[in-house]
Amino acid sequence: MKQFHRIQLIILCLFVALCTNGQERYTFKGGDVNGIRKWYMGRQIAQVMSHYGIEWLERPERDFEENTLALLKNLNLKPGMKVADIGAGSGYHSRLIAKQIGNGKVYAVDVEQEMIAFLNERIKREKISNIQPVLGSETSVLLPAESIDLMLLVDVYHEFSFPYEMGTSMYNALKPSGKIVLVEFRMEDDAVPIKTIHKMSESQTIKEMKKAGFRLEKNYTNLPWQHCMVFVK
């Protein structure tokens, strides 16, 4: 009987420890009005750009402002690759990647049903055969384990409501040799004309990605406004 109670006590302690860890991972307080009342590792999480921001995502000057051509070169895409565009939104980058990977596949992941609907319409309109929209969740990319060669996140990570859980989910979905490319507006550069809450510093990004099991391999400096950070398992 004593042994039984001891086991019960151990299970209870483990349960309490797990619950406490989850509560301490995030803090809740005020801050920038363009963010939510949730903080992770000293950073306030930004509000999500919804489908109402499609016009901004598809603005004609975006190629010039963000040097999309340079970004695509940084990705080092190969035919046959399986690429996940996390926070794909309108599919701005998904359709460009699809053209370069031949018989590969792009998994365009987004959490908004309206964005998925827009993506499906774009695929039909532009007759793209190798993009598969995926409705993800706030805590998971909902992709099979070790199935993805490359993940691209453009100006989306800072909006994750559950960055640790999403980081873990991406880690699990990547192949052992897979890479994540995080593109974020540079916090270190005051000249970048973006609200502070929608910027990230290299040091903060490294700190958060390390928590999910990643290390920085390289940060490309050839984009006008953004970091282009490559992370590996």
Tell me the angle at which helices 163-173 and 202-211 cross, rounded to the nearest 10 degrees.
70
Give, for all 233 residues of the chain, the pLDDT tens digit: 545 445 454 444 444 444 444 558 999 999 999 999 999 999 999 999 888 889 989 999 999 999 999 999 999 999 999 999 999 999 999 999 999 999 999 999 999 999 999 999 999 999 999 999 999 999 999 999 999 999 999 999 999 999 999 999 999 999 999 999 999 999 999 999 999 999 999 999 999 999 999 999 999 999 999 999 999 99
Per-residue pLDDT at 121: 97
Per-residue pLDDT at 24: 84
Domain-embedded: residue 35:
no
14: which residues sit within 8 A by CB, 6+ positions away?
none
C-alpha distances in angstroms, 188 versus 192, 200, 202, 228?
A: 9, 8, 8, 14
pTM as predicted: 0.89
Domain-embedded: residue 23:
no
Domain-embedded: residue 197:
yes
DSSP assignments along 173-228, one per residue: HEEEEEEEEEEEEETT-TTS-S-GGGEE-HHHHHHHHHHTT-EEEEEE--SSSEEE
**End-to-end CA, the chain:** 46
Per-residue pLDDT at 213: 98
Residue type, 85: D
Per-residue pLDDT at 3: 53
Domain-embedded: residue 68:
yes
Domain-embedded: residue 45:
no
Torsion, Cα of 7, 12, 18, 24 (10° steps)? -140
For 100, the domain range is: 53-232
Domain-embedded: residue 43:
no
CB 177 within 8 A of CB 147: no
Query: By three-state DSSP, how is residue 64 classified?
Result: helix
DSSP at 109: E
* Rg over CA atoms, the chain: 19
Per-residue pLDDT at 67: 98
Report the CATH number that the domain containing residue 122 is assigned in CATH. 3.40.50.150
Domain-embedded: residue 152:
yes
Letter string b/e over residues 12-34, b meaning 16 or more CB atoms within 10 A of that residue's CB: eeeeeeeeeeeeeeeeeeeeeee
Domain-embedded: residue 44:
no
The span from the CA of 104 to the CA of 139, in Å, is 26
The span from the CA of 62 to the CA of 70, in Å, is 13
Positive/negative CA dihedral, 60, 65, 70, 72: negative
Indicate the number of domains in the chain: 1
Tokens 């979905």 — which residue? 173
